[in-house]
Amino acid sequence: MAPPSNTTQTNGQTGERSRQNVRTGGRSRPCRGCPSSDIRDPRNFERQASKAQTRALLAAALHKLSGVLGIIAMTWATVVLLGGVVGNLSTWDFYLVSALLLIESLRLFIIQIFIARRGILFREKRHPAEFEFTDNQPSLLSSLSFVGQALSGSIAIACLFLTAYRIYIRRSPTLSLENGARHVAASLWIFYIIVIVNFTIAILSAVLHLLFRRFQRSIDTSGGNKHANSLAIFYGTIYRTAIEHGITQTAKVELLDFAFDKIASDLRRNIRPLIVRTLNREMITYMYESNGVVMACQYLKGEDLWKRIAAASLQGFWYEEARIGTKQDLFWSLRERVFSAGRDADASLNSIECLARYWSLERNEGPHPFLVDIPHGGNVLDTIVNLMLMETRSTVHFRVRAFEACCRDLRVLNHLYRQVDQHFKQPMDKRKIGRYLVELIDKEVQKYYGEERGKVIESDECLAKFSNSNLARLCIKLSVLLSPESEKVRIVARIYSARALMLLLQHCDDETHESKAASALKKWIETRIILEPYPYYAKADIEAAERVRAWVGLRPLSWSSVTIRDVANLSNVMSPEDIQGIVESVRGISDADHPVEA
């Protein structure tokens, strides 16, 4: 998961690079005041939700009233008419009352069946190669709701017509006080009036429910997002709660609790995190401004897996929110989840990646939020570094992408370089650190090919001491992930390993040694950063891969031959023209400058 970005066009001849673009990923900071940012007032969402709740309660109240009248009509029919004066009823009245009694029971049963549909869960396709976002859950629920209400309304209309036919067309002496037995006419009149009122309210309830539901759907999609459904789902939740548990119980449905349940439900349905953010953008902003941060910290420590995944993902969704960098309790809670091997760890690493990428664009001179120490020691960056150096069960490419995103920020790179001084009595400048890194990487490359190393720049003892630093160990780890001996490492992990290694080496500000490192790694990058069969690549993968290949002087890849999805735009497949534009923007070249490599 990564924030949407725009690549920045660089100027100059082939082979030249912009240091700023390399460190920031060629992105520009999003405009918070622009309409395209889709950042809405959270108070507006709360007002719309309150109106949705009122509409749902009105429709539910009419349905409950219809149900009460239906029970009264059935009781009156069974006790008074069929139980007390059945011998004085005409044949027509007997069959009509019996039919209305059975039909009303059927109508209430149908409504209850179509409302109690909690077990229905439409999942998106699980396999990445079959990924197709259609989100049929809302349409499925709407169809079921429409069928239920339409059947209820149709039954009510039919019963209303039969009752009207009995009263106004097929007149009978039993409805006349002069000709009928005592109380029979009055009993029938009472029953038919109850039935008329009941079915009239039932028709009104069904019509209003369908109209309100459609109206809520229109409000959700009014911002141009045709898949948004937060308010419509909230309306349905209030309506169902009122029907199943009573209108008074809807007061217990807190909007913030509903929002967490909605995010967890969407993630459980296998919808990609960035798409979940797009579908619920206004609701997510409301959550941030309405004590959602505190609840996210609590859920991260809870037992509910999908609530933990939702809480971990929300931090990445909130990357554009004001003062998110000050929510240290949130980051420290997130830090505790990255060592697990479940989907909550992947969601945590996704959020760390998203936040780190966004902060690298801000040019903020203050302390990096991931470098703020937790009470009693440690910080988020140290956790990511330890995770990179450990052999854990968590997915490699999630770890590498999170670390690479952190390395885009100069504050993180400075921190990693400063940590080297802990192993030496005298401070070391960037260039000296760069020489050591090149020496270690060259040694790793030569070891793979079984060749003898040349003479080291510094003594072996000094180099061995340097190799104990986290920076050196990180570079070796990234080299190993990139090397041909790591055959099982996925192509995406190799791309971001090379990109992170490139950022670490470029920070030494020594063109000579950086060039030596690029030369040493060129053969590995040429054979390992290539297009392989893969379900789909993301736009960010193109940017990272092409920057690395340009760094070592390799030609662009033929990205038009594979599937590229824009994960920030509902994962739509990108056109060859857009792909080519990204490659040219990243490299600052045209096809004439560098032929495309097949």
Tell me the pLDDT of the chain (598 aa) as tens digits. 555 444 333 333 333 333 333 333 333 344 433 333 344 577 888 999 999 999 999 988 998 898 888 888 888 888 887 777 777 777 787 888 888 888 888 887 877 777 655 444 555 555 555 555 565 666 666 667 677 777 877 888 888 888 887 777 655 545 554 444 567 778 888 888 888 898 888 888 888 888 888 888 888 877 667 778 888 889 888 988 888 888 888 888 999 999 999 999 888 887 888 888 888 888 999 999 988 999 999 999 888 899 999 999 999 999 988 889 888 888 888 888 888 778 888 999 999 999 999 998 877 778 899 998 887 667 899 989 988 988 766 678 899 999 999 999 999 999 998 888 766 666 677 888 888 888 888 888 888 776 554 444 445 566 666 777 888 899 999 999 999 888 888 899 999 999 999 999 999 888 888 888 888 899 999 999 988 888 888 888 999 999 999 999 999 998 888 888 887 776 778 888 888 888 988 887 544 344 455 4
Local structure of 325: helix, strand or coil: helix
Q: Does residue 501 sit in the same domain as residue 572?
A: no
The dihedral built from the CA positions of residue 395, 398, 399 and 404, taken in this order, carries a sign that is: positive
Q: Does residue 513 sit in the same domain as residue 585?
A: no
Q: Does residue 194 sit in the same domain as residue 61?
A: yes
Q: Does residue 471 sit in the same domain as residue 559?
A: no
Local structure of 537: helix, strand or coil: strand
**pTM reported for the whole predicted model:** 0.79
Residues 373, 378, 380, 385: what is their CA dihedral angle, to the nearest 10 degrees? Answer: 140
Q: Does residue 523 sit in the same domain as residue 549?
A: no
- Domain contains 289: no
Order of strands, sheet of 564-566, starting from the edge strand that comes earlier in the sequence: 537-538, 564-566, 572-573
Instruction: Give the β-pairing of 537-538 and 564-566.
Output: parallel
Beta pairing partners, 537: 564
- Domain contains 589: yes
Alpha-carbon separation of residue 225 from 41, 95, 216, 220, 351 (angstroms): 17, 53, 14, 8, 23
Domain boundary among 510, 529, 548: 529
- Domain contains 209: yes
Alpha-carbon separation of residue 165 from 86, 172, 279 (angstroms): 21, 11, 50
Q: Does residue 581 sit in the same domain as residue 453?
A: no
- Domain contains 47: no
Q: Does residue 447 sit in the same domain as residue 590?
A: no
Contact 239, 209 (CB under 8 A): yes
Domain with 595 in it: 534-598
Q: Does residue 138 sit in the same domain as residue 195?
A: yes
Alpha-carbon separation of residue 330 from 222, 312, 351, 403, 446 (angstroms): 32, 9, 11, 19, 44
Into how many domains does the chain fold?
A: 3
- Domain contains 489: yes
Q: Does residue 102 sit in the same domain as residue 221?
A: yes
Local structure of 545: helix, strand or coil: helix
- Domain contains 193: yes
Q: 96, 62, 92: which is closest to 77 by C-alpha?
A: 96
Would you give the DSSP letter of residue 420? G
Q: Does residue 561 sit in the same domain as residue 475?
A: no
Q: Which two tokens stand for residue 507?
A: 């920070």
Q: CA angle, 245 as apex, 239 and 249 as ends, to 5°? A: 80
Q: Does residue 204 sit in the same domain as residue 136?
A: yes
Domain boundary among 529, 548, 565: 529
Domain boundary among 193, 218, 253: 253
C-alpha–C-alpha distance, residues 100 and 74, integer Å? 9
Q: Does residue 591 sit in the same domain as residue 485?
A: no
Alpha-carbon separation of residue 387 from 353, 420, 469, 598 (angstroms): 14, 19, 15, 35
- Domain contains 461: yes
- Domain contains 323: no
Distance of CA 574 to the CA centre of its chain: 20
